[in-house]
Structure 1
Amino acid sequence: MIYFLDYIPPHRNQVSNNLKRLYDFYLTALKEQLQDIDYIGLTFDFWTSRRSVSFLCITGHWFDDKWGYFSKVIHFSSFHERHAGFNISRSVKEKLESLGIYHKVVAITCDGGENLVSACSQLDGSIKRIWCCTHRLHLVVINSLGFWNTENKIDNNPNNCLTTEITTTTTSSSNVISNNQQELMDTSLSDENETGIINNFNTNERSEAESATIVNDESSDDEQNLDLIDDNWSGNIDTNVPTTNEVELIMDLLKKCRVIATLSKKSSIVSNFIRTNQLLFKLNRTLNKDCKSRWNSTFILLDALIDLKPVMMKLFNEKRTLNLRRVQLDKLTMIELNNEDWDFLSSLHSVLKPFYWGTVMMSGKNYPSIGLAYHAVHKIKHFCTNGNSSNNHIKELKKLLLTKLYTYFFDDIEQFQYFQRHAFFDPAAK
């Protein structure tokens, strides 16, 4: 192709030199821009990839002399030292001093990881550490509702429609399911190499593009797993939340939902059925598995299932016409959502919706969010204290969330006072 186009690619040394030149150019421009500001707030992000490579990212937030708001990454690098607070604070101080802004920093926002909290405390005493409100809200939801509980409580009530015998594909819950159930799940997900198994469409007539899409869907999952990160958002999760009735129902429901999401990717028969009926019902949603590090990924999974309910109902009703293997048919039967499941899913979704929009509001990039976050937390508190619903599940879910809302927000007096003070002067909150 190179010869056909008569194109000579640049030498690697040329590319390397150009990258260094561009880096120096933009670093100089950034330093000149930061010289003109009086105060700056920072956001710290610290994480480790699944390849065990750690990264430190510092984002600066400031106003110029015309009250224009800027939010820009001012430093991004790998971190090769021990993740101790002293090492992080020393590295941060060096970077900020090299940019000439260490004395201009007034506040730092970071998650609640002990190493980052320690790092902030070892910087200049005038620099205040402020909550990452989205991280706090993440912990409120995860640690009140037991999204990632590893406890397996056997259900002795034969009439309970939310069975606890469903297996899950997540690593976090692999230790709560039996070996037989795990084997069933492992052997029932993929049907790519099976013979004599067809769906309503002739698999031999499937277009090459469609086949490639299925293969890419499955391989992309593996690629994405390699890029998953490990940060304090997943490290502070309580996997032993007390199993009240509602928490048990959530655990059982999420096991089903997660296996459905996996099956929709791993089985071409199920995937084709869902895709075809999405077109029939004019629905454009994708079922993706949730992850520990972002609670709203679970909400998005539940939201997608609610939108795709007609497709899911049709899948469960017509599963015996899909010519699935026996083990796959058993799998679909195990994860089938009945009326009680759908009702509880709807209740859980309605309770979590204000938390989702609060998370979206707090995650703003192009505007200061502390004032909006303060009022969002109070709105959520008001929502949780409102017990007018006749649905007992909703009442109990709100109680669980309200308890953790106090734990992570209102009971931390010093941080909450910082929160109030900064929100008072935020015009966006007026």
Structure 2
Amino acid sequence: MHQYLFPSQLQQRNSKKFTSTIALLDKRRFDAAAIEFIVDDGHALGIFRRSGMQKFLATIIPGYHGPSRKTVRKHLDKLYQHHRTSLRDSMKKIPFIALTIDLWLNSRRTHFLAIAAHYYDERMKHSSTVISFRRFHGRHLSYRLNSFIIKEIEKLNIQTKIVAVTTDSGSDIKGATSSNQLGTWYSCDTHNIN
């Protein structure tokens, strides 16, 4: 009967034969390592479904196909929630925070917004942490930027700890951050020089 199957059906059939040879614990361990690979190196969520990667996996671990996009997304959501909780808990101990906020446009004309917190920890060691990074859709009016920044700060419950904010001198980001809600506003010297 297999002579009547399409090549893709044969591949699926053959891959199912080997699936049982990989223990569930091994598959979970492999998936966790694969997801860590995707996060650490910034790969696409579906990298393990590409033909070259499938051939590579078939060579080194017959029967293992890598995590699906759905599995990766599910695990990324859990990792993100864990990271946000950990970040919120670590920020509880910090008395004063200065922010740097940058809004930029990439070559594909997509806007990105990054918010970084700078502080001294309980051992007086200077630390910087990215607290928000995302693509920003739509027109970038000061009000919308301010609303997003305030929501991110409220999610971490650090609104009373912010003493200063540094941005470039772009009209939208300057307008969004120059109110006293975010502490004293400073213009970025590096942006001013360039």
Q: Percent identity?
A: 31
What is the match of residue 34 of structure 1? 91
For the pair 1:129 / 2:164, whether they are aligned, the reply is no
User: Partners of 1:71 and 1:4 in 2: how far apart?
Assistant: 42
Residue identity opposite 2:90 in structure 1? Q
Written as runs of structure 1 = structure 2, the 5 A alignment for 1:7-406 is: 7-124=64-181, 127-138=183-194
Distance 1:111 1:130 in 2: 8
**Which is helix-richer, 1 or 2?**
1
Contact preservation (8 Å) 1:81, 1:87: no
Superposition RMSD on alpha carbons, in Å? 1.4
Contact 1:56 1:78 survives alignment (8 Å):
yes
CA deviation after TM superposition for structure 1 residue 116, in Å: 1.3
8 Å CA contact 1:89–1:123 kept in 2: the answer is: no
Partner AA of 2:130 in structure 1 = V
Q: What amino acid does structure 2 have at the position aligned with 1:9?
A: G
Q: CA deviation at 1:34?
A: 0.3
Task: Report the alpha carbon displacement of residue 120 of structure 1 after superposing the two structures with TM.
Answer: 1.2
Aligned residue pairs total 137
For structure 2, the residue ranges without an aligned partner over 5 or more in a row are 1-54
Q: Displacement of 1:136 after TM fit? A: 1.4
Distance in 1, matches of 2:90 and 2:141, equals 32
Residue 135 of structure 1 aligns to which amino acid in structure 2? H
CA distance in 1 between counterparts of 2:106 and 2:131 reads: 21
Alpha-carbon offset, residue 123 of structure 1: 4.9
TM-score of the aligned structures, taking structure 2 as reference length: 0.67
Do the aligned partners of 1:109 and 1:132 also contact (CA within 8 Å) in 2? yes
C-alpha distance in 1, partners of 2:138/2:68? 33
Aligned twin of 1:179: none
Indicate if the aligned counterparts of 1:42 and 1:105 stay in contact, CA closer than 8 A: yes
What displacement does 1:121 show?
A: 2.4
Residue 122 of structure 1 and its aligned partner are, at CA, apart by: 3.6
Structure 1 counterpart of 2:99, one-letter code: L
Partner Cα separation in structure 1 for residue 142 and residue 123 of structure 2:
37
Amino acid at match of 1:72: T
* Counterparts of 1:54 and 1:137, CA distance in 2: 23
**Paired letter, 1:131:** S
CA drift of 1:25 comes to: 1.0
Amino acid at match of 2:69: R
1:218-268 C-alpha deviation (Å, 9 max, x unpaired): xxxxxxxxxxxxxxxxxxxxxxxxxxxxxxxxxxxxxxxxxxxxxxxxxxx
Question: What letter matches 1:30 in structure 2?
Answer: L
How many angstroms apart in 1 are the aligned matches of 2:174 and 2:98?
Answer: 16
Unaligned runs of 5+ in 1: 139-430
TM-score normalised to the size of structure 1?
Answer: 0.31
Partner of 1:248: none
Which residue identity lines up with residue 69 of structure 1 in the other structure? Answer: H
